Chains A and B, each alone.
Chain A
Amino acid sequence: MTQDERLDREPDVHTWTGRARVWMLKKLPPDKLLPEDQPSYVASWIYVFGMGAIGSLLIVIASGVILSLNGPNWYHISALGHFVNSLHLWSVELMFLTMVVHLWGKFWMASWRGGRALTWITGVGSFAVSIVAAFTGYLLQTNFDSQWIAFEGKDALNASGIGAWFNVSNLGQMFMWHVTLLPLAVGAIVVLHVVLVRMRGVVPPIDAAATDSQLTGVPATATEPTEAKVN
């Protein structure tokens, strides 16, 4: 009996909570969420960049929390504050570096195949939202650079009709976007992205076939790739 069949037969599942538990366990059972093995093809340096981006994001959040607790002027007057600001800056730079390599890697691997379109879309979404989050961070430097970015950045936003509600010269507004709204958005999308990766698994090589030695013994009906003519 498969786990899905066991879950289907679970008695007294009539509450919303119980149904949600069954649904979640079906979609993401513990051995998929926290796996101890991976397909043999998951063996390349390209796979480390996704984890590198997550590692950098954790440093961005940790250093950002310390900066937030001390206020935007702290790093101007404190050597420790300046060092934490440097950690924040370089973790952002490393996050984008690893994220871009990860994104390009996944593109060349066509990682959206096999029902992974949403995984790809959330990846692109997290990249886009991270760009906005980083932009607001540059506006919080409260120095010449942030003054200039606010002056130059306003034109594209005003031309798009959103400059009044995303006013780059309004430090209070940008602070709220940077330390609350955008981190929540980045965090939520990244969590969804990671959960989808765990649910769908890592995409197999392009043209992987049931006759490959690493798939020997696999029932043909389950894994035979569609030798479809492209429509």
Chain B
Amino acid sequence: MKGKVDPMSARAVGIAGTPWRGKLREYDLFKELTVGVSVMVVLTVILALVLGSPDEPSVTLKSWANAQTADFAATATAELGGTSETAQYGPPYTNTKGATQTIGALDLQSLSGVQLPVNTANAFVLDPLATLPNQPTEIATWRAATKAEQAKWTDTYATALSKAPKSAPLNVKSGNYGPVPALIGDLTAMAQSGALDGVIQAQGNAYNLNYTNEILFLGDGQYFQNLAADQHLTGDQWGMMNETGGTPGQSWLWLFSFFYQIPPFSTAPNADLLVVGVMLILTLLLALVPFIPWLRRIPKWIPVHRLVWKDYYRKR
């Protein structure tokens, strides 16, 4: 009603809005701070000593190519043919049409533009091979071919690779694959030796702290994904809040992770954008609780505060 103030609002006057003039109790701020820090130090040291922290070694292109050569070769073929997930990702890596996540006309991904361009054929296959002391002549063959020829070679080779026993490159039947088998064979050997990690990471610079290309390449294969699944880290395993081993991870992301598990988010092609939007709205709602009447009255309806201030209510 006009002129009245909701006692549960931030604007409430009365006892909540004026300095306390009732009974007091002794309080020592510095003592509480010292005790608080000391208790947390003891707890932290005990947990660190008993449970430690996980440190699962990182995956390299070398470990991948040696552990699962077939998967590496198939992924490298997709990178060369431009059919991998990264090659068709959209902004900020490529300008693939229709690849962005949108909500109606809202297309933030396109708005950001291709800020980190990645040409997978060049960045992951051809440029690294060009750094070899004996540069494969097949690079020139590939570059001289038309896009249609390139696509036909990689498609045919990818199909043959998938049908070969154990999907091994060496077991692929002979066919018209152009320079693809040689390029993929050389790249696989380069990866197995460890040279590919250095070349992709360095990108021509002595200093480079940007691991985007290596992580995108790893992520296009099954090996990396399977390792994550074994550790319960994938999205459908609530992986966002898990950590390698048995250590707790980012459990505070439970709600973010939860939305990915339920429809419509779990099946939506724009799930990431939807979940981010919902979480932003929920965070905003939480911050603005003092100004939202039905939210700010919940503590009045469900009297948990009776437990918090039980001494006060008992003595009133």
Contact = CB atoms under 8 A, between A and B. Distances in A.
B244 A56 contact: no
A225 B15 CA distance: 6
A120 B210 CA distance: 38
Contacts of B315: 213-214
A195 B214 CA distance: 46
A215 B12 contact: no
A226 interface: yes
Contacts of B312: 40-41, 43, 205, 208, 212, 214
A206 interface: yes
B227 interface: yes
Nearest to B293: A230
Interface string B241-255: 001100111111100
Contacts of B30: 34
Interface stretch (A7-15, A20-28, A90-98, A179-187): A90-98
Interface string A145-161: 11110111001101111
A205 B309 CA distance: 7
Contact of A212 (B17, B22, B48, B252): B22
B109 A37 contact: no
Contacts of B252: 96, 100, 131, 134
B157 to A, nearest CB: 26
Interface stretch (B36-44, B71-79, B138-146, B183-191): B36-44
Given A42-B25, A169-B216, A54 B33 contact: yes
Given A39-B23, A167-B212, A215-B22, A205 B305 contact: yes
A120 B289 contact: yes
Nearest to A226: B14
Contacts of A76: 55
Interface in A48-86: 48, 51-52, 54-56, 58-59, 75-76, 82-83, 85-86
**Residue of B47, B55, B57, B315 contacting most chain A CB atoms (<10 Å):** B55
A54 B41 CA distance: 12
B45 interface: yes
B206 interface: no
B272 interface: yes
Nearest to A164: B115
A127 to B, nearest CB: 8
B108 interface: yes
Interface string B271-283: 0110110000001
B15 A115 contact: no
A188 to B, nearest CB: 16
A145 B243 contact: yes
Interface in B16-31: 16-30
Nearest to B100: A159
B67 interface: no
A230 B275 contact: no
A76 B56 CA distance: 10
Nearest to B52: A86
A203 B22 contact: no
Interface stretch (B147-155, B161-169, B296-304): B296-304
Contacts of A121: 287-288, 290
B273 A159 contact: yes
A228 B6 CA distance: 6
**Residue of A52, A96, A152 contacting most chain B CB atoms (<10 Å):** A152
B26 A156 contact: no
A39 B24 contact: yes
A191 interface: no
A113 B12 contact: yes
B132 interface: no
A124 B16 contact: no
B224 to A, nearest CB: 7
B56 A143 contact: yes
A175 interface: yes
Interface string A84-113: 011111110110101010000101111011
Interface string B207-237: 0011110111011000010011001011100
Ranked nearest first, the 6 interchain pairs of A and B with the lowest CB-CB distance are: A114-B16, A161-B108, A225-B14, A172-B209, A164-B115, A117-B10
Interface of A: 34-44, 46, 48, 51-52, 54-56, 58-59, 75-76, 82-83, 85-91, 93-94, 96, 98, 100, 105, 107-110, 112-117, 120-121, 124-125, 128, 131, 134-135, 138, 141-148, 150-152, 155-156, 158-165, 167, 169-173, 175, 201, 203-210, 212-216, 218-219, 222-231
23 contacts: A36-B27, A41-B309, A43-B312, A51-B32, A91-B44, A107-B289, A108-B302, A113-B9, A114-B10, A114-B12, A120-B290, A124-B286, A138-B250, A146-B58, A159-B276, A161-B112, A170-B212, A206-B305, A209-B15, A223-B18, A226-B5, A230-B7, A230-B8
